[in-house]
């Protein structure tokens, strides 16, 4: 019997139209919530996400955790408009294999300065089993201006 995973409800107006990320869209990664200091991303695993061993590719895991940690710091306070950041460092611990179902990456802001912020993340499967964890450092960047 197939169980269709239920996505996490959005926690806030996530502003997907304002914050398009072509890579996440291409991979099928969807935002599940975004509030100050926290973000959630989800992926329904498909065969294209698997490696030769039949488990999720490590790069997909890294992308999920990078997005979750990175976005967690973009709304560090309710007053701050969401900006952009670049990953300075991302450390991932791969703890268990996963080969299907719904994966959820949750990023949490650890601490933030004016230019750098630090975040941690967890990737779980639909049963709540911990698949991987991450810690990252991110640098705030100015939004590029559109050519006139």
Report the pLDDT value the prediction gives residue 14, as an integer from 0 to 100.
44
**Cα–Cα distance, 25 to 43 (Å, whole number):** 10
Domain hosting 80: range is: 22-141
List all residues 6 or more positions away from 19 whose beta carbon is below 8 Å from its beta carbon.
82
Report the CATH number at residue 30: 3.10.129.10
Report the pLDDT value the prediction gives residue 118, as an integer from 0 to 100.
97
Report the pLDDT value the prediction gives residue 17, as an integer from 0 to 100.
32
Report the pLDDT value the prediction gives residue 10, as an integer from 0 to 100.
41
Report the pLDDT value the prediction gives residue 80, as an integer from 0 to 100.
53
List all residues 6 or more positions away from 72 whose beta carbon is below 8 Å from its beta carbon.
37, 38, 39, 107, 108, 109, 119, 121
* 54 DSSP assignment: S
In a domain, 7, yes or no: no
Mind listing the pLDDT tens digit of every residue in the chain (148 residues)?
Answer: 333 334 444 444 444 434 568 999 999 999 999 999 999 999 999 999 999 999 999 999 999 999 999 999 987 555 556 678 999 999 999 999 998 899 999 999 999 998 999 999 999 999 999 999 999 999 998 766 555 5
Structural domains in the chain (count): 1
**Cα–Cα distance, 148 to 132 (Å, whole number):** 43
In DSSP notation, 78-114 reads TTSPP-EEEEEEEEEEE-----SSEEEEEEEEEEE-S
In a domain, 1, yes or no: no
Partners of 103 in beta bridges:
43
In a domain, 13, yes or no: no
Residues listed for the chain: 148
């Amino acid at each position: 019997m197939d169980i269709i995973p239920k996505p996490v409800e959005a926690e806030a107006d996530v502003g997907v139209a304002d914050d398009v990320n072509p890579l996440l869209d291409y991979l099928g990664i969807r935002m599940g919530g975004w509030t100050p200091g926290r973000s959630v991303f989800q992926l329904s695993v498909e065969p294209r996400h698997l490696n030769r061993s039949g488990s999720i590719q490590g790069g997909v895991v890294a992308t999920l955790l990078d997005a979750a940690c990175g976005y967690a710091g973009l709304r560090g306070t309710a007053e701050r408009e969401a900006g952009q950041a670049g990953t300075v460092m991302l450390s991932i611990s791969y703890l268990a294999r996963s080969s299907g179902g719904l994966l959820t990456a949750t990023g949490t802001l650890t601490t933030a300065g004016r230019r750098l912020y630090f975040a941690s993340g967890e990737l779980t499967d639909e049963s709540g089993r911990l698949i991987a964890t991450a810690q990252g450092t991110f640098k705030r960047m100015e939004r590029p201006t559109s050519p006139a």
